[in-house]
Amino acid sequence: MADQPDIATVVAARAGDPVAIDRLVAGYLPLVYTIVGRALEGHADVDDVVQDVMLRVLRNLGDLREPEAFRSWLVAITVRQVREVFRARRGAPDPLLHEDLRDPGADFTDLAITRLELSGQRRETAEATRWLDEENRELLSLWWLEASGELTRDEIAEAIGVTRQHAAVRVQRMKGQLETARVVVRALFAQRSCPDLRVLTSEWDGRPGALWRKRIARHTRECPHCAASWNGLVAAEHLLAGMALVPVPASLVAKVAAAKLAGGAAAATPYAAGGSHAAGVTGAPHAAGGLAPPHAAGGVAAPHAAGGVGAAKAAHVAAFSLSRKILTAALSTTVVAGGAAAVIVYQKHGDAPVASAPAAVLGSAATPPAAFPSVTAASSSPSASATPTTKPSVKPTTKAPAQKPVVIVAKASKKKGVGVWKFDGLKAALHDVGAGWYYNWAANNNDVPGPAGVEFVPMIWGKDNVTDATLKQVKSEGDELLGFNEPDMGGQANMSVADALAAWPKLQATGMRLGSPAVAYGGDKAGGWLDQFMAGAKSKGYRVDFITLHWYGSDFSAAAVGQFLGYVDAVHKRYGKPIWITEFGLMNFSGSPKYPSAAQKVTFIKGSTKGLESRSYVERYAWFGLPAVGDSVDFGLYEDGDSPTEAGKAYKAAG
């Protein structure tokens, strides 16, 4: 970890100590700058977002209940601000600048390459970040710091509001896209260029994007000349290990210092625009889309009844007591040895300046772009409309007739279930949706107790969970047990078939009805992971009582229902056993849009659940997932205990 202020400094800063406040700002400014800079890829918004993050932190520091969780809280606020920018500005990466006109440091990637003196595959990896989808750049900005020892996986999970296991899924898929992007960079700038690739890219405008990433990557797989670009790729985490934070430019340090001075008045009145209440860092994470649950990220209590006295005190003192010694120390971190010029440099597209994103309101009803457990995600949901400052000049002369609310009665179904994680209203939502069962990828439901009559099904998630203590837990939870979670995925259980078979007798010994490992894909393929496992289990005389599957579709048309049910049918035909689908939904992991519209989700849910209910061999199915808050707003079912989304209403009516 970098040399960052300790808990005592956080406690002192929270109490209003001006020197501690300055140390806190100077100590954590490089971390915030690196996250924002890499996520936003050097846009003009970076300095403004960093400044806004630091001011929000100071304004609300007095309300931080757990000083030891300061860094997790800080990172969560940073991620939230990045997402507000993504939502306000769906901008494209900047176009290529000819190498003769390069200006090292023109954007964040160039600054990182130059100041960190990156070369070889490290430089190549930095260049590849330009080709990532925006939600993957956000996650990369955090994972890069994990690989370099600046953040922990738990802090990443808390910052993005997911479980540790779900964070692993997202990281794995982001790394897959990063690897593809590295190959694209290699192929485009190889010393011996490929004639066919030059023809393919003759109409390319020089702007990295998903479409050209796919086209070029497809070419590299099929072209004998470019296929070598896939060889010799060192794992990205090995390249990033030990890399320092990107030094903060002196101009940004001065800007943050000036903002602290100028922000005193607003900070001292937290209910004014820009104050802690307007900033919305309150104890209602579901309303804001969730920075992170208070229990996980250290929590931020609601402002005091008197007007947020603690936050105002810290921010007021910070605004008028900037320590010159600390500022000088922060400025000195920008001195670095001269570095090599970047391989590729991008400039701003066109002559029009890039508008800075408006100040984000953390407590607004607008939810952030989504990205959750087994997906890499981005939201296309528009932000909530601002409240008008003036009333319409013309009032309607007639009163519209009141419409009767549509009441949807839940259809209870033993088959119908959901994957859940902790959120406000979980128990009520489980009851309201009419679920017959649920699970949480864990061996017990201590953190997510359900209502009476809704069955909890435990899971042995991976190899490390095959312990006597965990097996004892699952036996006390019920009669049925789910096997390993996506053992065919590197970021999930990540088990070889041999490892899974070796551990299987212990699961079998529980005496519980036992579901197969849930593969991420290819369950119907001869020779696939599941096929090998089932063949091995049969040869050893092991028991597998039902097959467990996951399925996600990237085709959002009406054809998705047939594609999904066809896969389920094919798996049943291969093994002749009952089927449980423990994760299913519509998500596009590598293209745009990432998620279907509300109408498309409703159509898919209606058709797929009708098909699942009609198939006698399908014993259970579970939508991914129940919460529609924070990072799961684009695919979840319930905003709280009694507020289903349109998809939630459709799922509630299924059965």
Fold of 413-652: TIM Barrel (3.20.20)
Task: Identify the pLDDT of residue 556.
Answer: 93
Q: Are strands 618-624 and 435-439 parallel, antiparallel or unpaired?
A: unpaired
Residues 375-428: tens digit of each pLDDT: 333 333 333 333 333 333 333 334 444 444 455 667 778 999 999 999 989 999
pTM over 0.75: no
Task: Identify the pLDDT of residue 586.
Answer: 96
Residues 345-376: tens digit of each pLDDT: 222 233 332 333 323 222 222 332 233 333 33
Cβ atoms of 58 and 29 closer than 8 Å: no
Of 27-41, 285-299, 482-496, 621-635, the least confident: 285-299
Tokens describing residue 583: 């994760």
Residues 284-311: tens digit of each pLDDT: 333 333 333 323 333 333 323 333 334 4
Tokens describing residue 133: 């989808």
Which of the pair, 31 or 431, is modelled with greater confidence?
431
- Mean pLDDT value of segment 611-617: 95
Closest CA to 458 of 437, 490, 480, 487: 480
Q: Are strands 96-97 and 345-346 parallel, antiparallel or unpaired?
A: antiparallel
What residues does each domain of the chain span? 413-652
Q: Tell me the average pLDDT of the chain.
A: 73
C-alpha to C-alpha distance for 421 and 624, rounded to whole angstroms: 10
Give percent of the chain with pLDDT exceeding 90: 35
pLDDT of 339 higher than 80? no
Residues 473-483: tens digit of each pLDDT: 999 998 999 99
Identify the three-state secondary structure at position 407: coil
Identify the three-state secondary structure at position 307: coil
Task: Identify the pLDDT of residue 198.
Answer: 87
- Show the 3-state SS of 607-643: HHHHHHHHCCCEEEEEEECCECCHHHCCCCCECCCCC
Of 56-60, 157-161, 249-253, 429-433, the least confident: 249-253
pLDDT of 12 higher than 70? yes
Give percent of the chain with pLDDT exceeding 70: 67
- How many C-beta atoms lie closer than 10 Å to residue 611's C-beta? 18
Of 222-231, 531-540, 563-572, the least confident: 222-231
Task: Identify the pLDDT of residue 244.
Answer: 52
The radius of gyration of the chain from alpha carbons, rounded to an integer in Å, stands at 26
